[in-house]
Amino acid sequence: MTNTRQPGGAWSAAFASASRAAMDVYAEVMVPRMFVPWGRELLDEVALEPGEAVVDIACGPGTVTRLAAARSGPAGRVTGCDLSPAMLEIAVGRGPVENGAAIDYVEAPADRLPIADMTFDVATCQQGLQFFPDRLAALGEMRRALRPGGRIGIAVWKRIEECPPFAVLTEAIREVAGDELADRYAGGPWGMPLAEDLRTLLERAGFRDVRVADRALPITFEGGPTQLGATLAAAGVAGELEALSPQDKERLRAAVAERSRPLMANSAIRSQLASHLALARR
Ligand SMILES: C[S@@+](CC[C@H](N)C(=O)[O-])C[C@H]1O[C@@H](n2cnc3c(N)ncnc32)[C@H](O)[C@@H]1O
């Protein structure tokens, strides 16, 4: 059942029906600047070895999936799962990874994975858990897919204040469209900010040796506020923002530009993003 009352659940439903054009924005603007560098960090944490079998949950356009295929190499095996047909279409369209493991993509919600028990060495989930309507069931599915001793690596953003470009977008939405929409925007990706919640959830799902690290990485939007604002097209509240009047859209654009000022250097936004990286074993 989709819990659309919590913002993460509403975002999950929005991803499920997102258009190809919206997810192209995600893949072109956000993946290279944000999700590829963070994906490398996550795979370093889980110490992925050549030949290992990896399942990447909420794989999106294959960000961590493809990095994992390159690292596990031709002797490895990688499966990417996501509920968004548009994301999976982009992932499949990117073709195989040269000298990498073969990749399978599967369309499924994270709490009902159509994969066999105990068949993977490593499970990854980068910036997906916060959206799942049933997070515990999803972690249970990842645990079921792992061999005994298998490792899980989960990335979940810290508080939005520690991800300043996106705090700028939240406050610009608040100024123009009000608290409800701003809170719904921020409550999706940044809706699970506490390390303790992540640790407790992993332990309740039956994982052991749980360790939650704090990391920060730089982020640059060289296209400045316009490029940052473009990411809203891939957000779970994109439909509501698209429905604003032309005057309010212009106010939103101006608010993003004004609030980005403290982050600007040479016409680029230069800032950082902070995430928890959780590691554990089955
Ligand atoms: C922020 S994106 C992260 C994608 C990818 N891990 C990456 O690093 O680029 C979140 C992803 O979670 C997926 N997602 C959201 N709710 C989901 C659910 N209930 N089951 C499976 N995937 C879900 C979305 O479709 C989207 O691809």
Q: Is the CB of 252 under 6 A from ligand 1?
A: no
Site to substitute for ligand 1 among 42, 59, 103, most atoms within 8 A of C-beta: 59
Each residue's pLDDT tens digit, 144-181: 999 999 999 999 999 999 999 999 999 999 999 999 99
What is the predicted pLDDT for the residue at 31?
Answer: 98
Whether the predicted pLDDT of 99 surpasses 70? yes
pLDDT level of residue 9 (50, 70, 90 thresholds): confident
Whether the predicted pLDDT of 4 surpasses 60? no
Question: CA-to-CA distance for 126 and 143, rounded, in angstroms?
Answer: 16
Whether the predicted pLDDT of 220 surpasses 50? yes
Each residue's pLDDT tens digit, 12-34: 999 999 999 999 999 999 999 99
Whether the predicted pLDDT of 1 surpasses 80? no
C-alpha distances (whole Å) from 253 to each of 177, 223, 250, 256, 267 are: 12, 14, 5, 5, 16
What is the predicted pLDDT for the residue at 10?
Answer: 87
What is the residue-averaged pLDDT of the chain? Answer: 96
Whether the predicted pLDDT of 5 surpasses 90? no
pLDDT level of residue 182 (50, 70, 90 thresholds): very high
Give ∠ CA 36-37-38 in degrees, rounded to 5.
90
- CA-nearest residue for atom 27, ligand 1, is 60
Q: Is the CB of 110 under 6 A from ligand 1?
A: yes
Atom of ligand 1 nearest to the CA of 126: 6
Closest of 109, 214, 111 to residue 157, by C-alpha: 214
Q: Measured in angstroms, how far is the CA atom of residue 204 from the centroid of ligand 1?
A: 22
Each residue's pLDDT tens digit, 241-282: 999 999 999 999 999 999 999 999 999 999 999 999 999 999
Site to substitute for ligand 1 among 30, 82, 125, 275, most atoms within 8 A of C-beta: 82
What is the predicted pLDDT for the residue at 2?
Answer: 41
What is the predicted pLDDT for the residue at 6?
Answer: 66
Sequence-ordered list of residues with C-beta below 8 angstroms from that of 135, at least 6 positions apart, any chain = 129, 192, 201
Each residue's pLDDT tens digit, 100-144: 999 999 999 999 999 999 999 999 999 999 999 999 999 999 999
Whether the predicted pLDDT of 74 surpasses 80? yes
pLDDT over 70 percentage in the chain? 98
Q: Measured in angstroms, how far is the CA atom of residue 58 from the centroid of ligand 1?
A: 4
